[in-house]
Amino acid sequence: MADAYQCPTCEQTHRGGCHAHKKPARGGGPCHAIVAPGATACRFHGGAAPQARAKAADRVAEAEARADVARSAARTDTPPAVALLELVQYQAGIVVYWRGRVEDVDEDDLVWGETKREKGVGPEGPIDKGTSEAAPHIAYRLLTEAQRDLERYASAALKAGVDERRVRLAEQEGAAVAGAIRAILGALNLTPEQQQLVPTVVPAQLRLLAGEGVTP
């Protein structure tokens, strides 16, 4: 059931959530009809109109987004210096991870990589072919981006007055965690499908560790 609406005009509660009022011929007073999620008017007061339904959908989407943010938001009481150290620690782990991935790539593949792959079924059967061109390997590009971000976070932390020793310690902690994760994954003999999940799962877990491991 929709939330009741406390009307500032009539100072009464519209139990069904419709903001409208009955016509004087029908006795006046608040409309108690139930509205659809996100709507502010029942179907008798324009709630079924396309523009009203579109606005209702927007309100629902916004409410869901706010709820997602509330569930996943970082601590709001984190001091800026600590937040920067968390970023440094997290990013240092990402650098180590992608550096290891680059080391696993054959030397020739570092500058000649697959940029497109076509899969499906054609007239002659299944299609699975790739297109390669002279370009840096994706692991190398991501390593470069991660190193650039780490430098930026570390610089911001130092400018914010964080002691340089703490910045370097955060880098070392992040690198140590990433190195341990990489060693563990290497010993598990993961299937190709499991290996494809690593670039998504590992950074997410490093972010969680960074948020829990840095103290003021």
Q: What is the pLDDT along the chain (216 residues), one digit of tens a residue?
A: 467 888 888 889 998 889 999 988 888 889 989 998 888 999 889 988 888 888 888 788 777 766 665 555 445 556 667 777 777 888 888 888 888 888 887 777 766 666 566 666 667 767 667 666 667 777 788 888 888 888 888 888 877 777 777 767 777 776 776 667 767 777 777 676 666 666 666 666 655 555 544 443
Distances (CA, A) of 183 to 105, 179, 212: 17, 6, 22
R_g (Cα) of the chain, nearest Å: 28
**How confident is the model at residue 116, as a pLDDT?**
62
pLDDT at residue 216 in the model: 39
Q: Which residues contact 9 (CB under 8 A, 6 or more apart)?
A: 21
Looking at residue 115, its pLDDT comes to 59
* pLDDT reported for residue 58: 79
Q: b or e along 3-40 (b: 16 or more beta carbons within 10 Å of the residue's beta carbon)?
A: eebebeeeeeebbbbbbbbbeeeeeeebbbbebbebbb
Domain range annotation of the chain:
5-72, 80-213
Give me the pLDDT at residue 188, please: 72
106, 85 in Cβ contact below 8 A?
no
Half-sphere exposure at residue 115, Cβ-oriented, CA atoms within 13 angstroms? 9
As a whole number of angstroms, the distance between CA 107 and CA 104 comes to 9
